[in-house]
């Protein structure tokens, strides 16, 4: 065990020789310990929270959920705008953009926005905490917990080692999608009177699946053209996108295709039962009328 720990310690010390100096000294960036312990705290709350809430009434948090979700939509809009603005001015290539450790204003704007994107993944832990407090345990799926915990860790790696270049594009797309997603959550938290305006939930999942598919294609293309970007990052991205496609794909099938079939079957069964009841009433009325005629 000691030799294994020493191996990983030595490996981490070696990786520190090529970290990006532009984010050095920034909040939560220099050491992995804060990210690690925050992740441990998150998983501990996920495990113990539902147990604590088991015999308690769910909290009604609408007064908190509306500003939280709309605030997260605003933050993601800010990140999207900052990243897109600088990427366009720098003429970033969507297919391959090396991470060059230069400190021009536009490059630093991208680094700064990537840090905010990483920090937003910490704030998103609140999504899970609100589910626990509202006793929405069915929302605490493996997909939800896997998504929140791994994104926080991977984007710490991003801000420490590769906070610009091709790293910017996944953040641009994902932050743009999160504007839509948190706007949806914020509006739905206002109350049931908003339901008629929220018909587009299904399309959020479709957009996310397209996002993962696009990122996977670009990742494989980066490997194909030997993009000047860390090779291990390219392989990690491809594997990570495959996991999301599988998990989100299963969610989409379960939530929309299987659920639609179930609702259709229930509707057909209800219609058949109603038709059967009407036929019974017709037969019954016919018998009653025959008896009256006698």
* 147 catalytically annotated: yes
Q: Within a 13 Å sphere around the CA of 115, how many CA atoms are in the beta-carbon half?
A: 16
**List 147, 148, 178, 260, catalytic entry:** 147
Other CB atoms within a 10 A radius of the CB of residue 79 amount to: 25
CA distance 62 to 60: 6
Cα→Cα distances 49→3, 59, 66, 169, 184, Å: 36, 13, 22, 35, 26
Tokens describing residue 257: 């295709």
Q: Which residues contact 42 (CB under 8 A, 6 or more apart)?
A: 125, 128, 148, 149, 152
Whole-angstrom distance, CA of residue 179 vs CA of residue 47: 29
Q: Among all chains, which residue has been given the structure tokens 């929270």?
A: 49
Sequence-separated (6 or more) residues with CB below 8 Å from residue 272: none
Which among 121, 164, 152 has a CA at the least distance from the CA of 23? 164
Residue 178 near residue 127, CB atoms below 8 Å: no
Helix 62-89 vs helix 125-133: angle between axes, to the nearest 10 degrees? 170
Q: From CA 125, how far away is CA 108, in angstroms rounded?
A: 27
Catalytic site positions: 147
């Amino acid at each position: 065990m000691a030799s294994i720990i020493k191996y990983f310690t030595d490996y981490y010390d070696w990786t520190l020789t090529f970290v990006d100096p532009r984010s050095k000294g920034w909040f939560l960036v220099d050491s992995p310990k804060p990210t690690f312990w925050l992740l441990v705290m998150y998983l501990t709350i996920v495990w113990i929270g539902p147990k604590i809430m088991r015999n308690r009434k769910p909290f009604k948090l609408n007064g908190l959920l509306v500003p939280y979700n709309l605030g997260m939509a605003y933050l993601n809009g800010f990140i999207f705008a900052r990243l897109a603005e600088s990427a366009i001015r720098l003429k970033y290539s969507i297919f391959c953009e090396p991470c060059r450790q230069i400190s021009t204003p536009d490059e630093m704007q991208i680094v700064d926005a990537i840090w905010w994107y990483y920090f937003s993944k910490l704030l998103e832990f609140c999504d899970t905490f609100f589910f626990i407090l509202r006793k929405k345990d069915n929302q605490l799926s493996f997909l939800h917990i896997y998504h929140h915990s791994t994104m926080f860790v991977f984007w710490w790696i991003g801000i420490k080692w590769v906070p610009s270049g091709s790293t910017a594009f996944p953040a641009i797309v994902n932050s743009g999608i999160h504007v839509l997603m948190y706007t949806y959550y914020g509006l739905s938290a206002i109350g049931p009177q908003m339901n008629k305006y929220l018909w587009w939930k299904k399309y959020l999942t479709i957009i996310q699946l397209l996002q993962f598919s696009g990122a996977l294609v670009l990742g494989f293309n980066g490997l194909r053209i030997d993009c000047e970007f860390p090779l291990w990052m390219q392989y990690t991205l491809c594997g990570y996108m495959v996991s999301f496609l599988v998990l989100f794909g299963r969610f989409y099938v379960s939530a929309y295709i299987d659920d639609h079939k179930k609702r259709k079957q229930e509707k057909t069964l209800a219609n058949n039962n109603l038709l059967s009841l009407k036929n019974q009433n017709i037969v019954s009325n016919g018998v009653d009328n025959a008896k009256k005629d006698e």
